[in-house]
């Protein structure tokens, strides 16, 4: 489980580093974060997410 809701300090690069380093994340909460559709698709493809809250 990872919740970075409202964390506007997280850059796209930081999020990419997290998703490529933490392969066991099953729930990712990114509500009110400035994340591109490309990064959301990368999260969906790279991780075996059971739940993502954009």
Which residue range is the domain that position 20 belongs to? 2-53
Adjacent-strand bridge partners of 34? none
24: left (phi over 0), alpha (psi -120 to 50) or beta: alpha
- pLDDT, averaged per 10 consecutive residues of the chain (54 residues), comes to 83 87 83 84 77 60
- Tell me what pLDDT residue 52 has: 62
In the chain, the number of structural domains is 1
Where does the chain show beta strands of DSSP type E?
A: 2-3, 27-29, 51-53
14: left (phi over 0), alpha (psi -120 to 50) or beta: alpha
- Tell me what pLDDT residue 6 has: 84
- The pTM score is 0.66
Q: How far apart are CA 39 and CA 37, in angstroms?
A: 5
């Amino acid at each position: 489980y990872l919740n970075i809701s409202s964390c506007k300090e997280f850059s796209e690069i930081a999020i990419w580093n997290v998703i490529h380093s933490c392969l066991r994340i099953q729930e990712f909460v990114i509500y009110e974060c400035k994340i591109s559709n490309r990064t959301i698709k990368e999260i969906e493809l790279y991780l075996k997410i059971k739940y993502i809250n954009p």
